Structure 1
């Protein structure tokens, strides 16, 4: 009985989880800014003091990172959900480390956010299809290596630098020097330290440039390729948004054609189909987004944001599921609902709420019969004229 009650208990929606993460992000940013200008309730020294000082600034960074994660969750990415869970835990840890009364709300909302994220895990299942080639992976390793090299070297040579006493000071000098900002408040006082600083000046900007180029370059190329493809294939009405509920080989050509004229979101329960569509989008620039889930599930349709759709195209490939999906879509939106009907069920689907139900086989039969009889009629007409 308890298990049944647990299943029947309403769970938070995916949209609730997204907005909660946004709220935690804003609280984290506000708490981090406030911590900079206030004194801790519990003052500490030594390593704990350094941790406390670092938490004052890094809490704001965690907040902005949570905003990025919330954007990914809004699109249903599983990777964004995992990142948000980790960042929410870190925000709670930052609230504790800051040791201020004003950080108590951050701890409370972060703990509550973790509970909500646990119950909404199944809402975020979309694969990010993020793959790194050898060059990109090497560039990331290089930039992490340069950062570790700079921090460790500066801390080891701290006696030969002015104003370097802690690991935080070493991190600060590494970032400022490697980015060529160079405020001048920390500077080397020996030849060895100067040579070390020169190596950071050489390695830092070079590594950052290579990393940014390897990571951003392919995305820019794909964007230009996608733009060129859309120009070649015809104008795309970006104000039109079509949600396709279901996907199979029969309807694939319809989805491809729609993507050349409007923004398309495909909802499919098949992870393999989703991966194929995402690879096809990267290859030919088709404007297709993918959401993995049951097209007849109300919570999935909520994530698909049917309320903003210009039209809904139902094509699950199963006659019975088409009916359920049409009913669910009609409950979620007033937009035009078009469905591919099979086995003469067009009338039933229109009664279920579809604006247009099309039977491709029936259309093909009518076209063939019409073309055949039209040709016969023309020959009969020509014979009558001869007589």
Structure 2
């Protein structure tokens, strides 16, 4: 009786552990958000309120201490943006937060220990430092929860590079021509002018005094505004595409550009579900013509596009040239053959695996270009019959097959050996040798 009572608790224990882990992660992310808000509030108030020096203020220059007023607010805003990435489990956001949290603690030690608000002195250094340390410890202890990669496309990297390049051009050029500008005496002044020019604000406190300086200012204006405009469209377009793709149950072009060393699953059938489960952490994309099934896959966070898998265009879109393998597992052998034939033409070196529905179509799929052709129905039927006739070890044999490493099955470390093995098995089957399926069935 006690054993029966203990079983429900044991069954619920994994769920309890997962719940506790989720709570710890959310608590760590919440602490980061609190630190960000406290840093922003402290920085904004410090800019216009009298403040007392921090514990380390005696060891740093006064200009550095004053700078912590607005840098605290800047750090807080960056941490707020980082916390959004932490909620999604992005590893890059975790890394950035681990770097910024010690900075916020240092700002609390170097900046003001208290701020005057409405005639009252409120301590700010101690809470900021303490919460920063706690947040850092929480993130370090739960680092395994932040494992999602931060995907950046080539166009987005180019846009960011254009922004940085335009700012470097404007800053270095302005500083080199500082004698021709009124109000430029340092590198900070040059950076200030480059930002004001690129943003088209134009305060007018820094002006070019010579024709050379004016020509340079014009070039910096054109390059800066063009870079910011292009970058804005490049960075915002993927977000809009992702929203539309989520609503339509398909992938955006920006997401497709990020696919690399992935597996392409052709079609949607009864075998698609176990295939997706077996792939696990291996990146994959599904091509199906059924929009309803595509939405169901999308709800499970699976990458999917709605298209005819036998056409060249969708295979090119999903990066067949960068793929590690293709799995054709529809319920239509003719559709599989067309998809295999098209895929082999687009990528002759691709590892192609096909599941055949009708056993007599196995050789046809081989001739179409499949490296490996399997019949799940024949294999399953053979195991069931042998087990029913008293053959021992069938269940262990099936478990051994399921325990084989997925990645080795999809992408062997020794392709030549795998090809030789497949060839040997195929020849044995053709000549009716001991390796043939017919004799095994007998």
Q: Is the 8 A contact 2:40 2:73 kept in 1?
A: yes
Give the aligned CA root-mean-square deviation in angstroms.
3.9
Cα distance in 2 for residues equivalent to 1:279 and 1:88: 43
Matches within 5 A, 1:300-319: none
Aligned counterpart, 1:73:
86
The answer to whether the aligner puts 1:110 opposite 2:132 as a matched pair is yes
Q: Is the 8 A contact 1:76 1:125 kept in 2?
A: yes
Q: Is the 8 A contact 1:21 1:70 kept in 2?
A: yes
The answer to whether the aligner puts 1:124 opposite 2:146 as a matched pair is yes
The answer to whether the aligner puts 1:192 opposite 2:212 as a matched pair is yes
- SS at 2:209's partner residue? coil
- SS at 1:183's partner residue? coil
Aligned counterpart, 2:178:
158
Q: Is the 8 A contact 2:53 2:110 kept in 1?
A: no
Deviation string for 1:350-370 (max 9, x for gaps)?
A: xxxxxxxxxxxxxxxxxxxxx
Deviation string for 1:336-362 (max 9, x for gaps)?
A: xxxxxxxxxxxxxxxxxxxxxxxxxxx
* Bigger radius of gyration: 2
Runs of 5+ consecutive residues of structure 2 not aligned to the other structure: 1-19, 115-123, 251-268, 289-293, 303-442
Measured after TM superposition, the shift of residue 67 of structure 1 is 1.6
Measured after TM superposition, the shift of residue 25 of structure 1 is 0.4
Deviation string for 1:117-156 (max 9, x for gaps)?
A: 211212222334x0322x3322221211111222223333
Aligned counterpart, 1:213:
233
Measured after TM superposition, the shift of residue 40 of structure 1 is 5.6
Normalised by the length of structure 2, the TM-score is: 0.48
Structure 1 residues 178 and 53: CA distance shift in structure 2, 3 A: farther
Measured after TM superposition, the shift of residue 33 of structure 1 is 0.3
Structure 1 residues 29 and 173: CA distance shift in structure 2, 3 A: same
The answer to whether the aligner puts 1:21 opposite 2:32 as a matched pair is yes
Deviation string for 1:24-52 (max 9, x for gaps)?
A: 101110111022113564599xx955544
- State which of 41, 63, 74 in structure 2 corresponds to 1:61: 74
Measured after TM superposition, the shift of residue 179 of structure 1 is 0.8
Cα distance in 1 for residues equivalent to 2:172 and 2:67: 17
Structure 1 residues 122 and 225: CA distance shift in structure 2, 3 A: closer
Measured after TM superposition, the shift of residue 218 of structure 1 is 3.1
Number of matched pairs: 247
Runs of 5+ consecutive residues of structure 1 not aligned to the other structure: 1-9, 231-248, 257-265, 292-387
- SS at 1:13's partner residue? helix
Cα distance in 2 for residues equivalent to 1:193 and 1:206: 20
- SS at 2:182's partner residue? coil
- RCO greater where, 1 or 2, for CA within 8 Å and sep 6 or more? 1
Structure 1 residues 112 and 226: CA distance shift in structure 2, 3 A: closer
- State which of 100, 107, 119 in structure 2 corresponds to 1:87: 100
The answer to whether the aligner puts 1:271 opposite 2:281 as a matched pair is yes
Q: Is the 8 A contact 1:27 1:106 kept in 2?
A: yes
Aligned counterpart, 1:171:
191
Structure 1 residues 184 and 113: CA distance shift in structure 2, 3 A: same
Measured after TM superposition, the shift of residue 92 of structure 1 is 2.4
